[in-house]
Structure 1
Amino acid sequence: MPSPSIVWFRDDLRLADHPALRAAIDRDEPIVGLYVLDEESRDIRPLGGAARWWLHHSLASLEERLRERGGRLILRRGPADRIVRETAADLGAGAVFWNRRYGGPERDIDAGLKQSLRDDGIEVRSFAGSLLFEPWTITTGAGTHFSVYSPFWRACLAQPAPRSPLPEPRKIQGPSRTPASDDLADWDLLPTEPDWAEGLRETWEPGEPAARRRLREFLRDDVDSYDRARDRPSAGATSLLSPRLRWGELSPHTIWHASIESGDSSGFLSELGWREFAWHTLFHFPDLATKNLRSEFDAFPWPRLSPAALRAWQRGRTGFPIVDAGMRELWRTGYMHNRVRMITASFLIKNLMIDWRRGEEWFWDTLVDADAANNPFNWQWVAGSGADAAPYFRIFNPELQAKKFDAEGHYVGEWAPEYRAEDGQPPQPIVDLGATRKDALAAYEKVKQASRSRTS
């Protein structure tokens, strides 16, 4: 009797350049793809609403593509360690393969599973499929992790070049019997009451085929203008590949080599480096979403939360046009231009004086590309509490930022048109930028004083 291989899909919802899938094919036994919706394991962060929407459609695409090639994807829900072991036993599996995860709770689950499956006589292997460089392989001269981006990326580039992507399999040997599977619709990943996803449907087409099309389009049409136009939110010069990387519909190896082969000489590949740096940091600091990376920021005197101010920010009703435009783009599309992400984050933290964790939670729930590393890493960067952080006294003035990067008002006109209309009735500013800047700098001075007292 054949002993099938299980390929456990996680944040790698693709067929091309999938090392775990390639290992299963090379084993020359029937293959069963498995996806586990784990909302029960300890310390696993539940997905936000926009992420659940994307996951539904990306899984549907993956299931269809596996079937076209003769394979199967089974869906099961529950704590991953139990579900994977039960599935392996149900199928009489001879091997379980997966691509690695890098968050602390996920690594603990995977390590325990690897040992228990091997104790049962099952072959288990994990692979590097989601990062260009494994986090533990990039170290300083002293053998420690990096805390500054530039030397980190130089150390990465001094390594052997990232491997070439693996080809997409044309045929997959499926199992002789169809294993039991949950119905994707029963997972209720899509919003219904109310259905707020109209803008997501208009903006995105999840799945590997659409991801590969977007990569080709970007490298053909947009990458040449990337450096000079990437900071202008109305220019359409960004890659829009971040959700594709977050869900693994494209691997970073595929993007890396396609960019080089296209002759790209822009700074685009350094954006992959920033992503690598975020995961490098999460690997060494698993509590990145809840704890200040720089402990001196624990002394930051956050005032009592103003629910009204937080709601105004979330809904794009702050009275500052580019902030409101960004927050409305986020709610409508599940995405926000990167420059505007920095502006809106700085406004929340340094003008509204609201803890960066409240903003990180909102982005986690509303972004289709929010992942466990990049989302908190970038919020801590803006806050000044993270790795290679922007100094706290760097406060983005939203009015000056709008003049510099949206001078003609195209972005604001698209997402917050009342600010551009002659008879529009925009909301009034909820804070004074000058006064709140002074308050933020005074709070930052208290952090510095507390740090000096601790080290003296």
Structure 2
Amino acid sequence: MTALIWFRDDLRLTDNAALRAGSADSGGIVALYVLDEESPEMRPLGGAARWWLHESLSRLRESLAVHGVPLVLRRGPAERVVQEVVEQAQADRVYWNRRYGDERALDARLKTALRERGVAAQSFQGGILFEPWTVLTGSGGPYRVYTPFWRACLAAPSPAPPEPAPERLRASDATLVSDVLEHWELQPTSPDWAGGLAERWEPGEEAALAKLDRFLTERAAGYEAGRDTPALDVGSELSPHLRWGEISPRTVWHRTLESGVSAGGFLSELGWREFASYTAFHNGRLHERGLNAQYDGFPWRAYDSHAVGAWRRGETGFGLVDAGMRELWQTGFMHNRVRMVAASFLTKNLLTDWRVGEAWFWDTLVDADAASNPFNWQWVAGCGVDAAPYFRIFNPATQQKKFDASGEYVDRWAPESIMLPELVDLRETRLRALAAYESIRGASRER
């Protein structure tokens, strides 16, 4: 028996249920990754994510090669490509780890098609702690508020411990043609804007596990007190590794609890990530439409290329916003507190549709996640589930005084911001935003 292991957002060997299932097959395994940019359910990756994917696939290829298993790369619609490889490898079973967003429709069609051909197809719990259909309200529906959702998760049986990587893997005897990773052109060439990403990050499973250990031994003790201070190095920086499945949330969860550090706030961040995936599962297409229909008629201003361009370049004249946007461009990352401030400035002070900002983050973040990215933008804009109240408008000047009083973060990333003219008047634009939100609330009351 030969098993095809279809890698997706699980680019690791440790705690990989699909890989462990296939490792027991006597005919060996075929390890496959499909770059699918054509299926309607798949959102094409942004530039920073493509860079990370290239590096992560390189590391996965090396890890599998230690066991004598080649990584087969193919490009095209996954529904077609997987079946082609099944036929070429004469595989009689296919294993994969589940996805929970719009891709589920593709996976369901493929599972049906394979079974109709007599090929066993089995999926396993993917990159989340709790399967979304197991966490429901008393009335049987999905939660729309984070706190009771997470309370229900914590009351459920604890996530299973992570499984070790298979001790032995055997490659199938099939000879398969693989694409050349470099031919996919996932990395920029001219101009090469990825130097800052390469300097900041080391993708791959080995780096992810080392980063978790470093966080628990060196940073976790200061996390609770310093998590909102962007100049402090107390964060785990695990988000891109989790996004690409180089480390599983179960590994993070259990190692954190076993470490003995006080990390309730850190684990609650895993809970927020869980809530984003949960919301995507129950709603879908988060990057296209708001979850609160009341905001469908929100009076966004016409697209202002000058204002949006200044926001993207970090030239708004507001230090915390500018520092965050420049950190994002140079490193593919931004501190979570600063993400909220930058998003609030775009949506509320500039009254720019949240989808504009979400698309920019999707293109520039190495941890751009199909659930978390739009989920968090909707939270700031006020149109998501459990969203920030419409009247919560983060004042970037006040936020800087509170969380970067010494100016260390701003001086690191945008020291000249103080010399730039301020793009807007904060008080005036705040009142304008409140009036806009009140207009749709009034319209809703009249209906």
- The TM-score normalised by the length of structure 2 is 0.99
Q: Distance in 2 between matches of 1:265 and 1:28?
A: 45
Change (3 A) 1:127 1:43: closer
Structure 1 residues 142-173: Cα deviation after superposition (integer angstroms, max 9, x where no partner):
00000000000011111110001010123210
- 1:1-16 superposed matches below 5 A: 3-16=1-14
Q: Distance in 2 between matches of 1:28 and 1:447?
A: 62
Does the 8 A contact of 1:294 with 1:385 survive in 2? yes
Alignment correspondent of 2:220: 223
Structure 1 residues 321-374: Cα deviation after superposition (integer angstroms, max 9, x where no partner):
110000000000000000000000000001011010000000000000011100
How far the C-alpha of 1:29 sits from its partner, in A, is: 2.6
How far the C-alpha of 1:129 sits from its partner, in A, is: 2.5
Are 2:190 and 1:197 equivalent residues in the alignment?
A: no
* Secondary structure of residue in 1 paired with 2:5: strand
Structure 1 residues 112-138: Cα deviation after superposition (integer angstroms, max 9, x where no partner):
111111111111100003110011111
Alignment correspondent of 1:147: 144
2:421 to 421, 428, 434: 428
Are 2:153 and 1:156 equivalent residues in the alignment?
A: yes
How far the C-alpha of 1:258 sits from its partner, in A, is: 0.3
Does the 8 A contact of 1:364 with 1:375 survive in 2? yes
How far the C-alpha of 1:264 sits from its partner, in A, is: 2.5
2:404 to 398, 406, 409: 406
Structure 1 residues 211-254: Cα deviation after superposition (integer angstroms, max 9, x where no partner):
00000000001111111000000111111000010000000000
In structure 1, stretches of 5+ residues that fail to align are: 421-425
Does the 8 A contact of 1:299 with 1:446 survive in 2? no
- The TM-score normalised by the length of structure 1 is 0.97
Following superposition, which runs of at least 4 residues in structure 1 exceed 3 angstroms of deviation? none
Q: Distance in 2 between matches of 1:246 and 1:277?
A: 14
Does the 8 A contact of 1:8 with 1:98 survive in 2? yes
Are 2:306 and 1:308 equivalent residues in the alignment?
A: yes
Alignment correspondent of 2:129: 132
Are 2:226 and 1:259 equivalent residues in the alignment?
A: no
Q: Distance in 2 between matches of 1:252 and 1:85?
A: 30
- 1:296-335 superposed matches below 5 A: 296-335=294-333
Are 2:203 and 1:206 equivalent residues in the alignment?
A: yes
Percent identical pairs in the alignment equals 59
Q: Distance in 2 between matches of 1:67 and 1:383?
A: 46
In structure 2, stretches of 5+ residues that fail to align are: none
1:287 to 285, 299, 308: 285
How far the C-alpha of 1:28 sits from its partner, in A, is: 3.1
Alignment correspondent of 2:431: 438
Does the 8 A contact of 1:17 with 1:129 survive in 2? no
* Secondary structure of residue in 2 paired with 1:47: coil
Does the 8 A contact of 1:70 with 1:171 survive in 2? no
How far the C-alpha of 1:43 sits from its partner, in A, is: 3.5
Alignment correspondent of 1:423: none
How far the C-alpha of 1:419 sits from its partner, in A, is: 4.1
Does the 8 A contact of 2:315 with 2:417 survive in 1? no
* Secondary structure of residue in 2 paired with 1:299: coil
Does the 8 A contact of 2:64 with 2:70 survive in 1? yes
* Secondary structure of residue in 2 paired with 1:200: helix
What's the Cα RMSD here? 0.9
Does the 8 A contact of 2:89 with 2:175 survive in 1? no
Q: Distance in 1 between matches of 2:432 and 2:273?
A: 32
How far the C-alpha of 1:93 sits from its partner, in A, is: 0.2
Q: Distance in 2 between matches of 1:444 and 1:269?
A: 33
- 1:32-431 superposed matches below 5 A: 32-104=30-102, 106-266=103-263, 267-419=265-417, 426-431=419-424
Does the 8 A contact of 1:69 with 1:171 survive in 2? yes
Q: Distance in 1 between matches of 2:65 and 2:168?
A: 10
